[in-house]
Amino acid sequence: MLPVSRRQFALRAAAGSLLWPTLPAWLLEGMGTAFGGNPVRTDGATRKSIDRGMKWLIGAMRRDGTVGTDTFQPPDLSCTAMLGLALLSEGSSPQGGLYSRESRRLLYGLLELVHQRPMQLESLSSVTLVQRKIGMQADLFLATLYLSEVYFESPGDETEIRQALTRLIKQICLTQGPDGTWGTDSWAPILGTVMGWVCLRSASSAGFQIDASAKRVGEALIKKLRERPLKEEDNWMHNFYKDASSLRVLYSLNYRDDPAFLECVNRLLTVAKTDSRPFELAGGEEYLSFYLVTECLLKEPKPEWQAWYPCVRDHLVKHQNGDGSWSGHHCIVNRTFCTAAALLTLLAPNGGLTTSEL
């Protein structure tokens, strides 16, 4: 175990005061390097928007540390995990930060939800909106991502977190298909596959063994981009989240010079500059995809790529609700999910999550 938290370790490494350790095999499978990029400052309007969003999310929390799809709603594992990630990205962990007390409560609440969650789909008493839209394992992906990120931020709770992660990782690895994906049982299965990769990557970085293939995920996603039908070109609701989320995986798996990857980046930049619909009419899939692609494009020094974050940031600030939340306008309409995802995007330049290291 590292003598400092993972986020502290990442910050020191970025500053050159630590050498990177040998990465686990799952992280190395097919992966290139992805360091570099220019720092992005957070202006006053963005900081105010973040503060209002965090205040709304904290106000939506239940006494047990969980959060529902909106205020005064029953606990939802996906939304609770998203709030946990937003807290970590803001700088609040169970051991410190402005919202450390809330972060600690959320950790315990989420662990209880994971404990209650049956791993076999036939044992589920109900299916959530996030599961219907991203995939039946979506809540497990998000819980695994959060627990992997908070693992070294919670001294004294490592054993319970490790037990929960071991159970989650086993189920996620077992459900990866032969083609590297996580099924087609949802509206946005590509986003589900991306989140499967993202959460296992974070778990691998935390030192957990991963019995799944990162390489096959990349092969499946680049194949989709290369075979993208021309007739879908103008349908932003069906294409934007696919393009944006796929970039997150392909960037780290060293497809950055592939013509299909570069064409995808250009499409996203064009849409962000010329089409306001993905922002005005965003659902949870788009909000999450904003964050995933922002993690990539912030790292690159190319001027045209650096234009992405300011553009998306300004759209998000503009379309924030008066109470500080963000609303989903189709598919995933959960305000807690959308608000947390929007905050992850606005906070991305801070590098608060170690998922953005590579």
pLDDT score for 236: 65
In sign, the C-alpha dihedral spanning 163, 168, 169, 174 is positive
pLDDT of residue 13 exceeding 60, the answer is no
Given this model, what pLDDT does residue 296 score? Answer: 86
Sign of CA dihedral 336, 8, 115, 209: positive
CA distances from 351 to 162, 259, 356 (A): 24, 28, 7
In a domain, 17, yes or no: no
Asked if residue 216 belongs to a domain, the reply is yes
Q: CB neighbours of 108 closer than 8 A, spacing ≥ 6?
A: 64, 65
Maximum Cα–Cα distance for the chain, whole Å? Answer: 54
Beta bridge partners of 96: 93
- Say which CATH number the domain at 97 has: 1.50.10.20
d(CA 139, CA 319): 26
| 28 in any annotated domain | no
Domain assignment of residue 2, yes or no: no
- Give the pLDDT score at 97: 95
pTM of the model: 0.89
Instruction: Give yes or no for residue 188 having a pLDDT over 50.
Output: yes
Q: What is the DSSP string of 37-79?
A: -------HHHHHHHHHHHHHHHHH--TTS---SSTT----HHH
- Residue 349 CB neighbour total at 10 angstroms: 19
**104: closest CA among 112, 89, 93, 114?**
93
Instruction: Give the separation between CA 27 and CA 150, rounded to whole angstroms.
Output: 19
Q: What's the domain range around 328? A: 33-353
Half-sphere exposure of 116 (CA within 13 A, CB side): 11
Average pLDDT over residues 104-131: 90
- Residue 83 counted as domain residue: yes
How many angstroms separate the CA atoms of 98 and 90, rounded?
9
pLDDT band at residue 324, thresholds of 50, 70 and 90? very high
SS3 content of the chain, % helix, strand, coil (to 5): 60, 0, 40
Q: What is the pLDDT of residue 12?
A: 40
20 assigned to some structural domain:
no
Which tens digit of pLDDT belongs to each residue from 304-322?
Answer: 888 899 999 999 999 999 9
How many angstroms separate the CA atoms of 108 and 112, rounded? 6
pLDDT tens digits, residue range 126-163? 889 999 999 999 999 999 999 999 999 998 999 999 99
* The predicted structure's pLDDT at residue 26: 66
Average pLDDT of the segment spanning 186-212: 94
Spacing of C-alpha 144 from chain mean position: 11
Position 163 scores a pLDDT of 97
Q: Range with the lowest mean pLDDT among 10-24, 92-106, 338-352?
A: 10-24
Look at the chain and report how many structural domains it folds into: 1
Q: Does residue 23 fall inside a structural domain?
A: no
Query: 31 — phi, psi (to 5°)?
Result: -95, 140
DSSP string, 138-177: HHHHHHHHHHHHHGGG-TT-HHHHHHHHHHHHHHHHHT--
Task: With respect to residue 27, please indicate whether it lies within any of the assigned structural domains.
Answer: no
